[in-house]
Chain A
Amino acid sequence: MRHGGSGEYISHLSWNAARQIRSLFSKQLASLTLGDAGAAVMVERAPRGSGIDVIGFTTLAEHSRLCLAFPSSVGPGAQMYTKSRTLHRVAIEDMAPLVAETIAEAGIELGDIDYLIPHQTSARAIRAGTQEFVRRLGTSPKHVVVNLEEYGNTSSTTLFVALHKYLEEQRIRKGDRVMLLALASGIEIGMAIFTIDSLVDSYGHTH
Chain B
Amino acid sequence: MAQASNRQPGHWLTLQSADSGGPWGCRIESVGVKLPAERLTSRDLMSKTSHRTHIQLERLTGIHERHVVGPGENSFTLATGAARDCLAHSQLQASDIEMLISTSITRSKGRTSQSFEPPLSLYIKQAIGATQAVNFDLSNACAGMLTGVFVLQDLVAQGAIKCGMVVQVNTSRT
Residues of A within 8 A of B (CB): 3, 7-9, 11-15, 18-24, 26, 29, 31-58, 67, 76-78, 97-98, 101-102, 105-106, 119, 121-124, 146, 148-161, 163-165, 167, 180, 182-186, 188-192, 194, 197, 199, 202-203
In the bound complex, what is the Cα–Cα distance between A69 and B49 (angstroms)? 20
Name B's interface SS: mixed
In the bound complex, what is the Cα–Cα distance between A63 and B35 (angstroms)? 32
**A residues less than 8 Å from B13 (CB atoms):** 56-58, 98, 101-102, 189, 191
Cross-chain contact A185 with B68 (CB below 8 angstroms)? no
**A residues less than 8 Å from B62 (CB atoms):** 122-124, 146, 148-149
> How many interface residues does B have (CB within 8 Å)?
95
Q: What's the nearest-Cβ distance from chain B to residue A137, in Å?
A: 15
In the bound complex, what is the Cα–Cα distance between A31 and B42 (angstroms)? 12
Cross-chain contact A43 with B142 (CB below 8 angstroms)? no
**B residues less than 8 Å from A163 (CB atoms):** 31
**A residues less than 8 Å from B156 (CB atoms):** 43-45
In the bound complex, what is the Cα–Cα distance between A78 and B108 (angstroms)? 13
In the bound complex, what is the Cα–Cα distance between A187 and B97 (angstroms)? 31
Q: A44-B26, A52-B25 are in contact. List 17 more A-B contacts (CB 8 A).
A: A18-B45, A21-B55, A23-B55, A29-B55, A31-B172, A38-B33, A38-B168, A39-B34, A56-B150, A123-B62, A150-B65, A151-B66, A152-B65, A161-B33, A165-B33, A184-B140, A194-B27
In the bound complex, what is the Cα–Cα distance between A101 and B75 (angstroms)? 35
The interface bits of chain B over 132-154 (1 if a CB of A lies within 8 angstroms of the residue's CB, else 0) are 00000000111111111110110
Cross-chain contact A38 with B143 (CB below 8 angstroms)? no
Residues of B within 8 A of A (CB): 7, 11-19, 22-36, 40, 42, 45-46, 48-51, 53-55, 57, 60-71, 75, 78-83, 85-87, 89-92, 97, 103, 105, 113, 140-150, 152-153, 156, 159, 162-174
Given contacts A52-B26, A155-B105, contact A40 B45 (CB under 8 A): no
Q: What's the nearest-Cβ distance from chain A to residue B135, in Å?
A: 13
Cross-chain contact A18 with B55 (CB below 8 angstroms)? no
Which 5 A-B pairs have CB atoms at the shortest separation, nearest pair first? A35-B66, A123-B62, A38-B78, A152-B66, A51-B27
Q: What's the nearest-Cβ distance from chain A to residue B35, in Å?
A: 5
Cross-chain contact B11 with A101 (CB below 8 angstroms)? yes
